[in-house]
Amino acid sequence: MRHAVAPAESVENNYFAVTNLLKICTHCERLSKKDLGVRIPRPLGNGPSRFIPEKEILQVSKVDARTQSIFEDAFAALGRLDNISLVMGFHPQYLGSFLRTQHYLLQMDGPLSLHYRHYIGIMAAARHQCSYLVNLHVNDFLQVGGDPKWLNGLDKAPQKLQQLGELNKILAHRPWLLTKEHIERLLKAEEHSWSLAELIHAVVLLTHYHSLASFTFGCGITTEIHCDGGHTFRPPSLSQYCVCDIANGNGHANHHDDPLGNQEMCGEVEVLMERMKQLQECRDDEEASQEEMATRFEREKTESMLVVTAEDEECVPSRDISRHFEDPSYGYKDFSRRGEHVPTFRVQDYSWEDHGFSLVNRLYPDVGQMLDEKFQMAYNLTYNTMATHKDVDTSMLRRAIWNYIHCMFGIRYDDYDYGEINQLLDRSFKIYIKTMVCSPEKTTKRMYESFWRQFQHSEKVHVNLLLMEARMQAELLYALRAITRYMT
């Protein structure tokens, strides 16, 4: 039987619906809640990102019909439009591919049950202390009928999921240590064993959420108002703005609008473009020997170890997060610390295109194709612009970013000259890349603002898409190689 709603209750419910969508100033709040006597939640953040002005993000969907259409489809499928999607909306082509892949991994037919998929998402996001993604999938886990007891800690989950903990931590922090023995232990665990198809599904989910945690921290994604940690009932401070301010064009200043900062960084883009031009000319004039190319890779790999992430400070996870994974002290370590040596992973011997793609597609049909489209979309995405410059070929820069990330993971492309990386990526950019890829929970707004100061926010989001996908592919390469070695 459907219950009737009293008029006063109906008004109150409608009011909550409005305040869930809009941020309002004290004056507007007093007018809106007059005589209702209710407490009004107010968002803690200013829009979907702590790094990017809200009005710039919201403007994207207003002017781009394709973005608007993708947002509508996502809302219809999920009943929500999360802040990650809003920020990715700067690049609608990529967003469409991302949402299709994620929807397939989480909701379509596959080897793993729905609640297992969301629990694995929780485990993966927790490794990087990403409370945003953890909370998102805690809610989804419960909605699909997951056992609430599992949320009390990994030790309360089934033994089969607990055994995935070792794979989770190695993939997240030191994927080069993964061996076929790790795979064998999961596939031959008697009554708690995984099938090959289940394991492929789990590996794709783990790598997806490790890399998505990088994007979440790298873009300063904020918690939605209806979620824990996304709202407060305290009145706003004088420094904050109401929707009536936004409507009048007011808002927080940012470094892109700072004339002094732009003067200091004047010429940054032109210098980078000139270096790209010179490198192209050098390519045309002479080609380095294979021995020299190998030497340059080893040099860059060694130098990447000297790049310190975010003052190298320690981030201690809260109990709410750490209960979802084991061994909290386990984190990213550079290859050669304490004399540890890891052989170089040569893409010519095992690549995504020639090996990983077919293995995933064989054991989890269609997913290999979706992942490949997503990798290609991020890698090839270009608007032929750099800041205010048009008709620019950015392929050299995009390749340098992608290959630098893989270099940090020991992955080498024989046909690439790693000497180009130091010419194109400055130290502040390298610090940002290494932090976001290896220890994303340490990413700060200051780091985001310190690189490419003359570039648009949309271009920095594009960089973060590259970092996310390059990281995911690097993890997948190590995991799929170990599975292939087990199978052969």
Name the catalytic one among 130, 219, 242, 438. Answer: 130
What amino acid occupies position 184?
Answer: E
Contact by Cβ (8 Å): 392, 386:
yes
What is each CA distance from 389 to 209, 267, 342, 429, 456, in whole angstroms?
A: 34, 12, 42, 20, 11
Question: What element of type H or E holds 385?
Answer: strand 385-386
Q: Which residue has the tokens 């802040």?
A: 83
> CA-CA distance, 307 to 334, in Å (whole number)?
10
Mark residue 311 as left, alpha or beta (left: phi above 0; alpha: psi -120 to 50; beta: remaining): left
The alpha carbon of 369 is separated from its chain's Cα centroid by a whole number of angstroms, namely 20
> CA-CA distance, 437 to 261, in Å (whole number)?
27
E-strand spans in 29-165?
A: 42-43
Q: What is the CA radius of gyration of the chain?
A: 24
Burial class, 402, CB count within 10 angstroms (exposed 0-12 / middle 13-18 / buried 19+): buried
Tell me the three state secondary structure of residue 461: helix
How are beta strands 389-390 and 385-386 bridged, if at all?
Answer: antiparallel
> CA-CA distance, 252 to 322, in Å (whole number)?
35
**Quick one: which of 192, 202, 228 has its CA closest to 124?**
202
Residue 315 annotated as catalytic: no
Cα-Cα-Cα-Cα dihedral sign, residues 465, 470, 471, 477: positive
Q: How many C-beta neighbours within 10 Å does residue 474 have? A: 26
DSSP letter string, 137-195:
HHHHHHHTT--GGGGG-GGGS-HHHHTHHHHHHHHHH-GGG--HHHHHHHHT-GGGPPP
Instruction: Tell me which residues are annotated as active site.
Output: 130
